Chain A
Amino acid sequence: MDENIIIAEIKKFIETNILAGDIMLEADTILQNIGIDSFSIVEIMLFIQQNYNILIPDDQLVPENFRTLNSLARLVNKLLV
């Protein structure tokens, strides 16, 4: 799946449900730096699992995979293969 499409979909979810309106979110923005906390990470994880019909295994639930939209898109693509 095209990583840009995955990035756009996750970005839309975060902007609509988690972030304040005036916060800029780019593909390489470090999510923790814009206030994304552990509760929000759970929301993002649940969205990914439901939207792409995948289960994120325990060993992939690491901060590196949830650092930016880029790393999230790479994780989704890896699990979709």
Chain B
Amino acid sequence: MRTFDKTSLPEKVLLTGSDCFHLVLDKHAHIHHAGSNVMRIVFYFNTRLSVANIKKTLGNSPLIYWLCNVKLLKGLFFAKPRWRYKDKGNEMVINEYHHAVLNEIPEIILQRDIPLDGNQFVEADLVYYPGNKTSFILSWNHILMDGRGIGMLVQHLNELSSGHSNQQIKQLFPAREKKTGLFRYIKNMYTIKKFIEKSSKAPIASIARKNSESTVAFKNRIIHFTAEETNRINEQAFQNGARFGANLYYLSCSAHAVNNINKQRKKAGVMWIPVPYDGRLKGSLGPVISNTVAFLFYRVPVTAFASVKQTVTCFSTQMTEQIKDKMPQKYSILLNMMRHIPLRLYYFLVNRSGKGSFASFLYSSTGETFNNIKTLFGETVSGLTIFPSPTFPPGLTFSFLKHREALNINIAYSPDIVNYEELNWIELDLKNILLGKS
């Protein structure tokens, strides 16, 4: 029996500025034939999961029910895009597969699109392996949720499984927006436009080549570290100047690995890297729905690659300056304003302002969000990884995730951008740099 009131679900949820930027990225991905803007999270279990148990938990979630019954209404004549909920009685379908290679995710799942004109934006898959092991995969269009949101969704599902949920439905959805005055909008837009133009000034050394086209599907390579190795990485991070968490060290090591490939290609130069910045209040249980991230934009001069420590210092200085100047908040205001613009015009403006240059590579870290996830559906989670959405160009994304004090990195790459030998090199190089071996 359902434990929530379906009539209390919101009928209309406006897309945030960040959601709408993902609409642009989705369009961009389709134009470059790089698939959809789909993210996936994979939970590994050393037990065989019961479909009935999963269905029971998902069936009790107001959030899952809402997600199965929404439709995207794109903006029209300067009206903001929105999700419209209509109770059609749709439930989450769980697809089941049997796979011989332990912990490998079948390609049919990884390559499946979740188009914006479809009827469902979240999908669940269960893969059974030999030895009674299982993986549970949740896939969603990035327009709906960001990585932090999915962390909150897991927390929400765990509370439902334990039967002790105190969450209110309204906490799960974005709150009513505060209005910003027109003058502040214009001032912010000018400041952030100038800043991004200066920060991304050409020439930028990107892993992608100009005029690249995506001809084959994205692939993934996952690097696993033990808890002991992760501890050593944390020590290296501290010694290299990352004083409050290893995030800037991860980013610096990734930048070095990409710079080393660029050197091999004889095109090393200044890098430009946008890095997500979660704008939610800390300790909050929501919103789960909507992207709430802004970005910090880092420009890395060639001189900063003299050592990893110097790269960390370069990132740290720019991070402090941008937080001091409230750049992420200003960027969010800009994105919120851009929602009023029709998608085609928005896409044209983004493309024109980029003048053909794009990020050197993409990077994200889930920080502590998933570190303490011990169970899902009442079963012990033995491992966890995130498959970032494919973004082309640049066609190379590093996604760092820590679970039970052990780090893993999911590298999503386009074979049109990074070939097999180069990827092997990146993997080995990144491992060695992180562990302080080179």
| A interface, CB within 8 angstroms of B | 18-23, 32, 34-43, 45-46, 61-63, 66
Contacts and interface: CB of A to CB of B under 8 A. Distances in A.
Nearest to A42: B323
A19 B283 contact: yes
Given A38-B244, A63-B243, A18 B281 contact: yes
Given A42-B320, A42-B323, A46-B320, A20 B244 contact: no
B323 A37 contact: no
Contact of A35 (B283, B319, B320): B283
B309 to A, nearest CB: 12
Contacts of A41: 244
Nearest to A14: B282
B245 A38 contact: yes
Given A38-B244, A62-B243, A46 B283 contact: no
Contact of B283 (A23, A43, A62, A66): A23
A75 to B, nearest CB: 13
A63 B237 CA distance: 13
A32 B416 CA distance: 41
A32 B323 contact: no
A15 B282 CA distance: 10
Given A42-B320, A46-B323, A37 B245 contact: yes
A38 B323 contact: no
A37 B282 contact: yes
Given A32-B368, A37-B368, A43-B323, A61 B243 contact: yes
A22 B280 CA distance: 14
Contacts of B382: none
B324 interface: yes
B277 interface: yes
A21 B323 CA distance: 22
Nearest to A40: B282
B154 to A, nearest CB: 15
Contacts of B284: 20, 23, 35
Contacts of A66: 244
Contacts of A61: 243-244
B301 interface: no
